[in-house]
Amino acid sequence: MTASSSSAVQRLVSFLREDLGQQGRIPLHAPTFGRREKDYVADCIDSTYVSSVGDYVVKFENEVARRSGCAFGVATMNGTAAIHALLHTLGVGRGDLVICPALTFVATVNAVLYTGAQPVFLDSDPDTLGLSLSEVERFLQTCEQRADGVWYEGQRVRAALPVHIFGHVIDVVRLSEICAAYGVAVVEDAAESLGASRDGRQAGSLSVAAALSFNGNKVVTTGGGGAIVTNDEALAVRLKHLTTTARAKQGWTFFHDEMGFNYRMPNLNAALGFAQMEQLDDFICAKRRLADRYEALFQGCANVQFVKEAAGVRSNYWLQAIMLPDLTARNEALESLHAEGIEARPCWTLMVDLPYLKDSRRFGNLTVARDIESRLVNIPSSPSLMTPSV
């Protein structure tokens, strides 16, 4: 085993087992549930409104919007559906191109494909791990300007879909300025960044609209769920309509005025999520304290870097991460941590290396994304690791 991976693993094991007193298998990210979740879910069951209508959906939508710095929220059954509905509603469709980071979770890209559009993959920024703004600018400069927008190799570039990787918020305000000059819309995949901010502005409020995820592994969970947040009322109304089967409000009749989606979040899930939202600050506080501890732990550990928030960013540290010197050290660390009962994982396989995306369009050589992919390891990140006593 290389010296760097062995030293990183030893430090991590002794920190988790001895300093934090964690016994048994340590998951990468486990949700924290208490009395409140049980009370709200029980209340929801007692009301009999467990399905697609109910007060908890409205309460949850309002709270998610508020905590994202937005006026409106539309809950969906998962984050992938939220991205799909959002792109569809903005008119992204067959033949269009959407700028995506090559390094992201596959759902970002699948949602683009569901609309009939295709991704064009760009490189990442080493400081934020997200889409590189300079690469977006370079890409748009090479596009052909036409009366109706910019085109790349015969396809119109309709939107950019940046992702705040692991809660590290990218500069969407600057990205939007760059894209606006070319008539390209920007929407955020904020699935991983609830409660994070940049220059005092919440992730999710930095563009036209954003999609969030409340999957079981996220900072706040509804079991499975998602949401779209926006400050655009007309967009929110349209999204609510389309994600709830486009049923027109005509008394008790079943009249659907266009093809909608059944992307509704059940009230039962919203009840769980509403209880979780009330603890968002506690969860983020614990995760930020854990980040401080990890940063101190790896300081002075040769060739191991803890991934810190960039200047101006207040990350939610959804998943904590370290960078090892190379692929060999990364693989060794993953093997050893798993052997110790500690769940760690590599970053996602680059989208362009997935078999069904291998012929997708890409721009530039994706060197930074490849480097991150080969060296990054996510390490245990549950807020429950930081009890008030540690």
Ligand X SMILES: Cc1ncc(COP(=O)(O)O)c(C=O)c1O
Binding residues for ligand X, rule: CB under 6 A, are 78-80, 104-105, 107-108, 163, 189, 191-192, 213, 215, 226
DSSP 3-state of 316: coil
Q: How far is the CB of 186 from ligand X (least distance, A)?
A: 15
Q: State the nearest-atom distance from the C-beta of 166 to ligand X, in Å.
A: 9
Residue 8 · residue 304 · CB < 8 Å: yes
Distances (CA, A) of 356 to 109, 123, 160, 175: 11, 19, 21, 28
- Which pair of structure tokens corresponds to residue 238? 């349209």
Q: Minimum CB separation from ligand X for residue 387, in Å? A: 27
Q: How many CA atoms lie within 13 A of 126 on its CB side?
A: 7
- Residue 318 identity (one-letter amino acid): W
* b/e sequence 29-51, b meaning 16+ C-beta within 10 Å: bbbeeeeebeebbeebeeeebbe
Q: Given the complex with ligand X, which of 143 and 162 has the nearer CB atom?
A: 162
Kindly report the CA angle at 140 between 137 and 146, in degrees rounded to 5?
150
Q: Measured from the CB atom, is 80 or 382 closer to ligand X?
A: 80
Shortest reach from residue 301's CB to ligand X, in Å: 28
DSSP 160-174: E--B-GGG----HHH
**CB nearest ligand X: which residue?**
79
Nearer to ligand X by Cβ, of 73 and 226: the residue is 226
The label of the residue with tokens 């409340």 reads 214
Please state, in angstroms and rounded to a whole number, the distance separating the CA atoms of residues 205 and 217.
Answer: 22
Shortest Cβ 211–ligand X spacing (Å): 7
Q: Which is nearer to ligand X, 54 or 79 (CB)?
A: 79
Alpha-carbon torsion (111, 114, 115, 117), positive or negative? positive
Question: Distance between CA atoms of 13 and 69, rounded to whole angstroms?
Answer: 38
Least Cβ distance, residue 116 to ligand X (angstroms):
19
The H-assigned helical ranges of the chain are 3-14, 35-47, 55-67, 79-89, 106-114, 133-142, 172-180, 233-243, 267-277, 280-298, 327-339, 367-375
CA distances from 72 to 32, 63, 213 (A): 27, 9, 16
Rounded to whole angstroms, the Cα distance separating 353 from 109 reads: 13
Tell me the two tokens of residue 220.
């706040």
Question: Shortest distance, CB of residue 208 to ligand X, whole angstroms?
Answer: 17
Instruction: Output the smallest distance, CB 1 to ligand X, in A.
Output: 31
Q: Is the CB of 189 or the CB of 332 nearer to ligand X?
A: 189
Least separation in angstroms between CB 227 and ligand X = 10
Structure tokens at 24: 């048994």
| SS3 category, 157 | strand
The minimum distance between CB 106 and ligand X, in angstroms, equals 8
